[in-house]
Amino acid sequence: MKTNDKQKQLEDFVLSHYQHGRLDTQQALRNVRQRLQQKEDQPQQARTVPLWQRLRHVAAAVVLVLVMVSAYAIYRNAATPQPAPTEQVATPPQPAPAVSKTFHFDDTPINVVLSQLSQHYGVTLTASDTTRHLSGDFEADDLEMLLSMIEQTLGIEIDSKKR
């Protein structure tokens, strides 16, 4: 809004709200004009921005930079020409891996799970909490890794003793 418009509005306000005979409207207009002039002569004060807003702007800039770096890395990897396949020398056939047993459990009590594993590996297994149930398919390659996975999943401890 222009200064002239502001002055006009203030003059209209003064004239419409001050009653004749009670106050000097001309003096009121002079006072309003002086205040407007003083306001225009004063330098604009710098607006302070709260710290949380500054931090928000910094965080947004950091996120933007990370997105841009990620996009550039993806672009570079996609634009890098792949090396031509080299001629492969025939390798002797590898022996077939040993067939491992897969265990399938569907809401099976832990006692039943441990008895099946005990029979397969020839050990005695006991659990600290027998109220738990287990669901999933497990490869029987490594007993220690399988027991560790079950312990972490169910939050129990399993003891193993050789027969």
Please tell me whether the overall predicted TM-score, pTM, comes out greater than 0.75 for this model. no
| Residue 36: pLDDT over 50 | yes
Q: How many CB atoms lie within 10 A of CB 128?
A: 13
Q: What average pLDDT does this structure show over 15-25?
A: 64
pLDDT tens digits for range 63-109: 999 999 888 888 887 766 666 666 666 666 555 444 567 888 888 89
| Alpha helix stretches (DSSP H) within the chain | 3-17, 25-41, 51-79, 110-121, 143-154
What local confidence, expressed as pLDDT, does residue 54 receive?
A: 86
Domain positions in the chain:
3-41, 102-162
Top-level class of domain 102-162: alpha beta
Q: How far is CA 7 from the centre of its chain?
A: 52
If DSSP codes are grouped into helix, strand and coil, which group holds residue 21? coil
Q: What average pLDDT does this structure show over 156-163?
A: 85
Q: With beta carbons less than 8 A apart as the criterion, state whether 118 and 148 touch.
A: no
- The number of C-alpha atoms within 13 Å of 126 and in the hemisphere containing its C-beta is 5
- The number of C-alpha atoms within 13 Å of 11 and in the hemisphere containing its C-beta is 10
| Residue 53: pLDDT over 70 | yes
Calculate the alpha carbon distances from 86 to 82, 110, 145 in Å. 12, 51, 38
* Distance separating alpha carbons of residues 121 and 115, to the nearest angstrom: 10
pLDDT tens digits for range 109-152: 989 988 888 888 889 998 888 888 888 887 777 888 888 888 88
